[in-house]
Structure 1
Amino acid sequence: MNVISSALVAGLLLAGSAQAQHRHPQGERAQDRREIRETRRELRDDRHDVAELRAVLSRFDSAWARRDVREMSAVEDRLRELLRAEMRESRRELSSANAESHRSQRELRAEQWEARDDASWGRRHPRREVRDDRRDARDDRRDVRAEVASIRTRQAIARELMELDGRRNGGALHRKRDLIQELIELAEREIHQGRQELKEDQRELREDRRGGWRG
């Protein structure tokens, strides 16, 4: 092998080694920023949902106190509209959570492969990287389960409200009020979950920036 060929082979090996160490390209950081924007948008939507549901509850109480049949019917119509909108939003958020979970699983597999590759070549691999990716994958699976649970809860509430539709006796009205309150509490839990998810998204961005600087 002549000098030029030897230099070329050495250059290729060094380039491959450098590429292997850059496990978080700029594209992943851009994806992290998109997820942060998406989570912030979902938080705004959840806060809006809580405000709308609280307004419905206030109208419900007022109509009940005044025995205003027309207003009560309008409140029920508005509640159905909100529930339909929330179901659409929940399905969209589930789709987003699934996509993020798949991405984190791919990143975990890639990191595990890189760790094995480093070990086979006698290179040190930061154990923190595999640990962080495993944690991210676990958190994203948890988010998917939370979205599925929210959809099921809303579906159950919608079915019960449908059965109570138009009924004005005391027991039915008490139950309707309880169901509206359940929807408010569900939306408030989603706000809490959204804040946690935002913290996780921001942490992932910091880690990806740190990973991009390695090597």
Structure 2
Amino acid sequence: MEYVIKSINHSEKILKDMEEYKELENILCNFSEDLLIDYYKKDNYISLSNAINKYFKEKLIGLEWNIDSYIFKNSEYSSKRWTLNYTKDEVAINIAFDHNISICWNLLKGEIQSKPNILQKDGSSNINILLTATSNFIREGGFDNATGSFEEYKKYLPPLSNFINSPILLIGLDKLDTFYIQTIKSNGKKIGKVIGK
């Protein structure tokens, strides 16, 4: 799988020798387009989002990453909104194919996790990795146009620079070489169809 990265607060330098990052790089490198198509065809979703989520969930849980880790112990903050998708030791990974209105929240969630707070924390991760999609991948992957892109995440960084002090690595899944998802209507419903290039 091709991807691009943006290192914030020296995250790439910090992560490069960490076992958790090597695990993620290995997962990304072994995620071929044929494999992505296999995962995609098992579902009835329009975009590639669910297929990518399922692949990462399977691989990360297999490597003993924690899933849906709460930021706080307080039960008042026990909804999905207050979780990190995957955590292991000091690293958190969030798969961020959300609506672009969630960009700011996704960037700040890792910051909240890594800093002291008046609420008792349920864990501690100091480095946040956000898996996003470039605008090209969004277009070719059948995603909704309102999905927050890698490029949009980068645009949020300057105005949030006073608030983001912890290391964040943005990863943008980039282009598809062998296929794209075409959105079509079938029986009055939108569905996605794999089209070879």
Normalised to the residue count of structure 1, the TM-score between the two structures is: 0.24
Ranked by relative contact order (alpha carbons within 8 Å, sequence separation 6 or more), the top structure is: 1
Structure that is richer in strand per residue: 2
Bigger Rg, structure 1 or 2: 1
Structure that is richer in helix per residue: 1
Normalised to the residue count of structure 2, the TM-score between the two structures is: 0.26
